[in-house]
Amino acid sequence: MQDIRQPLYAAPASGHKQAMPPPRRSRAAPRPPPAPPLAAGPSADEAGGVLTISLAAVAANYRALARRSLPAECAAVVKADAYGCGLEQVTATLLAAGCKTFFVAHLAEARRVRQLAPEAAIYVLNGYTTGTGPAFAECGARPVINSAVELAEWDQFVAASGWRGGIALHVDTGINRLGLSLAEAAAVASRIHAPNHGIALLMSHFACSEVSGHPLNALQIQRFRDIRMLYRGIPASLANSSGIFLGDAAHADMVRPGAALFGVNPTPGAANPMQPVVELKCRILQVRDVARDETVGYGATWTAKRDTRLAVIAAGYADGIPRAAAATAAEPGRHVLVGGAICPIVGRISMDLFTVDVTDLPQSVQRGDWVTLIGGELDIDRVAAEAGTIGYEILTGLGRRYHRVWTP
């Protein structure tokens, strides 16, 4: 079987134009890339909140997923700034944990990964856009080819440049999003018999892997197995985070976890096998009393049913707090931890502020205290469920106004 981690800069076949050379390397030992910073954003004194990301938990989650996937290779999906957790910091951590293959969504993300991972294989999920061939070659990234048109344009670039950096071929087995149809993939399968065919990876993507018993999972596994028969010798990848937990039949030669690396539960309905990665705490700006029958916030959507004590928190939808997260007359809304106690968010979330009902707390709550929005019993999945969304959206939406700290 072809090695998944084939060289990034393969030599051109005879008769082809000279390949673009790899980046020049000094005869001296290359300097290692600088370590990414472990703090960012405004200072803790000036920020409304502190976002702490545990890199040790990211590494532990990767190793756990890699063990579960053996003998398949475990890659890592670090798109969207590593799901909001810091692309550079996470990439450096995963490299140290043994990861050799990374998936991103865009070329700009691939360049950032390449700065830290000069020898890694980097795949760009959103594929090849007309005219981007030289940019792929420059950073040694591999486009995930998602259509016959992309494949034709990529072949034109290769013919003109001699570049032999390789591609992934994405086949749609049932999600009906990106990817060649099964018929299109079968029609071009004969190219694997040509020298320098360029296909480094055959891949597809689950639609319903988080629901272990969904019938589409078995159908996609069977369709992918059938198409793999036409691409013998080409490494193959199907499983995302949840797909890893569907068993060996879903693993193929490589798995591609993303959200599970960052603590999102890949097995909804069962205990979360991943370690929590993110903790978010925000500052109380003011504590105020509201009389019974007074309304709170924009739109007067919440009315105090008793004399109420409120804490006003220094975060809002500009910081990734979903506007739909607070209680209304009809919905119970989301909670935060104040001094370790669960308290409801009430009134509408505004751009920079939200309010919490702290009336029932026995202890004194004061200006300058911190409340926990993510952490402890408020794990990322509970926070997302209370906001009517998923952990992916909560993580990737966390704003840039927090003081960010990465703990090794």
Q: Which residues contact residue 308 at a Cβ distance below 8 angstroms, ignoring those fewer than 6 apart?
A: 289, 290, 291, 292, 294, 357, 359
Distance, CA of 276 to CA of 261 (rounded, Å): 9
* Structure tokens belonging to residue 72: 């398949």
Report pLDDT for 333. Answer: 78
Chunk the chain into consecutive blocks of 10 residues (it has 408) and report each block's average pLDDT, rounded to whole numbers: 38 36 49 89 97 98 98 98 98 98 98 97 97 96 97 95 94 97 97 93 98 96 98 97 97 98 96 98 97 96 96 97 73 88 95 97 92 97 94 96 98
Distance, CA of 247 to CA of 146 (rounded, Å): 26
Residue 306 burial (CB count, 10 A): 10
Give the residue range(s) of CATH 2.40.37.10 domains in the chain: 278-407
Q: Which residues pair with 261 in a beta bridge?
A: none
Q: Are 16 and 162 in contact (CB under 8 A)?
A: yes
- We find that the CATH architecture of domain 71-262 is Alpha-Beta Barrel (3.20)
Report pLDDT for 395. Answer: 97
Q: Is the peptide bond between 71 and the residue preceding it cis, with omega within 30 degrees of 0?
A: yes
Question: What letter represents residue 170's amino acid?
Answer: H
- We find that the CATH architecture of domain 278-407 is Beta Barrel (2.40)
Report pLDDT for 28. Answer: 60
Report pLDDT for 17. Answer: 37
Instruction: Report the catalytic residues.
Output: 79, 298
Q: Write the pLDDT tens digit of every residue in 43-65.
A: 999 999 999 999 999 999 999 99
Report pLDDT for 241. Answer: 98
Report pLDDT for 29. Answer: 62
Give the residue range(s) of CATH 3.20.20.10 domains in the chain: 71-262
Distance, CA of 285 to CA of 144 (rounded, Å): 47
The pairing of beta strand 403-407 with beta strand 39-40: antiparallel
pTM reported for the whole predicted model: 0.91
